[in-house]
Amino acid sequence: MKNIAVFASGRGSNYKTIQDQIKAGNIPGQVVCVISDKPTPPVFEKAEDNDIPTYYIAGKQFKEEQQYTDFLLNILDKYDTELILLAGYLKLIPSRIVERYRHAIINIHPALLPKYGGKGYYGLKVHEAVLKAGDEKSGATVHFVDEIYDNGLIIKQEEVEVKPDDTPHDLADRVLKVEHKIFPEVVKAFCEDRISITKDGVIIKDE
């Protein structure tokens, strides 16, 4: 059983999907805490429904970056965290945490990276950009986190069709269904030690 910390800024639908899969016995892990940069995000209610400890931790609460990072690391250490999941988390992870958890921080992004990634590309802004560009395909990407927004090694992607009459909300709904499919698949593979990194990229071994 891997100990999983979830970082989320909003409603936490991807967190709920992971939690549901854990409760169903499909993922050999447990969410040990949920951390947010917002004081009262909807995700906290979902976590508390499952008796998961929640923490509001934001850089502005601390005088120095080092204090902020130390506090985060202390929480992660408290729960013997082995995997960090970013489920709609909008802040850049401090470099010391990235280094400590290299290839053990996983993010879900609502586009086919490297397109429409980086600072400022989140939520409906991603889907608005896809529609504005006239792309015929979009999708979701699960990737490892490094020191740059949406830059780490891609673990898994899945495409969705962009329809001519799509609104950003229409596309967002379709992409979210893919997110809810591939994010648990990757988390399951990580918890079962089936993900390896080679010179050719990330490989997920069959079950």
Contact 76, 5 (CB under 8 A): yes
DSSP state of 40: S
The DSSP bridge pattern shows strands 137-144 and 154-161 to be: antiparallel
Q: Can you list the domains of the chain with their CATH numbers?
A: 1-101 (3.40.50.170), 107-207 (3.40.50.170)
Residue 132: Cβ within 10 Å count: 9
Does the pLDDT of residue 74 top 90, yes or no?
A: yes
In this structure, what token pair is assigned to residue 141? 């990407």
Length of the chain: 207
C-alpha 181/C-alpha 55 separation (Å) is 27
Contact 23, 3 (CB under 8 A): no
Q: Minimal CA–CA distance to 1: which of 36, 29, 26?
A: 29
Residues 156-173, buried b or exposed e (16+ Cβ, 10 A)?
Answer: bbbebebeeebebeebbe
Which helix (H) or strand (E) is 21 found in, with range? helix 13-23
Only one residue has tokens 């993922």, namely 27
Q: What's the chain's average pLDDT?
A: 96
Say what the pLDDT of residue 86 is.
97
The DSSP bridge pattern shows strands 105-109 and 54-56 to be: unpaired
pLDDT (average), residues 173-190: 98
Active site residues: 109
Contact 77, 33 (CB under 8 A): no
Say what the pLDDT of residue 162 is.
98
Does the pLDDT of residue 207 top 90, yes or no?
A: no
Percent of the chain with pLDDT over 70: 100
pLDDT (average), residues 111-134: 95
Tell me the sheet residues that pair with 168. Answer: none
Say what the pLDDT of residue 201 is.
92
Contact 93, 65 (CB under 8 A): no
C-alpha 157/C-alpha 142 separation (Å) is 6
In this structure, what token pair is assigned to residue 46? 């979902």
Does the pLDDT of residue 160 top 90, yes or no?
A: yes
Say what the pLDDT of residue 103 is.
97
C-alpha 36/C-alpha 10 separation (Å) is 8
